[in-house]
Amino acid sequence: MVSGRAAERTQKEVMKLLASDDPRPALRLMAATGVLGSILPFVKSLARFDSLLAIETEQLFENDPELRLASLIPDDPKIAEQMSERLRLANNTRDRLVDAVGKSPRLVSWMSPREARRAIYALGVRAFCDRVKLAWAGSGRPVTAPQWRALLAMAETWSPPPFPLSGEEVMKAGVPKGPMVGEVMREIEIWWIDQDFIEDKFSAIERLKAVAQGMVY
């Protein structure tokens, strides 16, 4: 494994290359000569990387060297962690790569708005957008571009309403202070998400009463 200052120099050179306008020719040459494999042995294909850059160009997206790096590795968080360690990446970059190559929830171009909102809530906006772009690049179906763009637009414009209940309200419903408050809150949150982030306070309180009664008695 590359270590110390050598790893830091390698990291800087790799990220500098990935930040360039079109690093595809250089990456292809590195792959053909075995240089890429010695630096990033986890890279098995350049197909998704090539597709991501094509999407960036066609859709006028900004160059994103971190996401480009994510596109080079398989969808496996463990491999993302190993590569991050190998390149001595900063913790925030490592975390982004790990989130970007996760497999669940699975993102597809034909997701309904409801499914997309659930995924945005579960992943957060940045990880959701990263996964959309990687899934788009890996799909091999240019015709689905409008659907992928719509998912990105939803992530950029939608945010879930505030969770309708507080811990104090849970205790007022008869749940004793302690771990059970968190359990009831999580149960209500699951219901709330399933109801597509319902903003009806009365319905949430009624659900709370039912859950609290079942868990306390």
Same-domain check for residues 74 and 13: yes
Residue 168 has, within 13 A of its CA and on its CB side, a CA count of: 0
Which residues form the domain of 171?
167-216
Same-domain check for residues 151 and 71: no
Last residue of a domain, one of 67, 82, 103: 103
Binned at pLDDT 50, 70 and 90, residue 215 comes out as confident
Same-domain check for residues 32 and 87: yes
Q: Is 34 left (phi over 0), alpha (psi -120 to 50) or beta?
A: left
The mean pLDDT value for 69-96 works out to 96
How high is the pLDDT of residue 216?
A: 59
Same-domain check for residues 81 and 11: yes
The 10s digit of each residue's pLDDT in 103-131 is 999 999 999 999 999 999 999 999 999 99
How high is the pLDDT of residue 7?
A: 82
Euclidean distance between the first and the last CA atom of the chain, given in angstroms as a whole number? 57
Q: What is the pTM of this model?
A: 0.91
Same-domain check for residues 36 and 62: yes
Binned at pLDDT 50, 70 and 90, residue 142 comes out as confident
Last residue of a domain, one of 103, 123, 145: 103
The residue type of 31 is: A
Tokens of 142: 């240019």
Same-domain check for residues 31 and 80: yes
Same-domain check for residues 97 and 109: no
Q: How far apart are CA 34 and CA 28, in angstroms?
A: 10
Q: How far apart are CA 6 and CA 88, in angstroms?
A: 10
Same-domain check for residues 43 and 132: no
Residue 165 has pLDDT above 80, yes or no: yes
How high is the pLDDT of residue 8?
A: 87
Same-domain check for residues 122 and 76: no
Structurally, the chain folds into a number of domains equal to 3
Last residue of a domain, one of 103, 118, 139: 103
The 10s digit of each residue's pLDDT in 1-11 is 445 678 889 99
Same-domain check for residues 32 and 99: yes
Same-domain check for residues 20 and 82: yes
Mean pLDDT over each residue of the chain, to the nearest integer: 94
How high is the pLDDT of residue 214?
A: 80
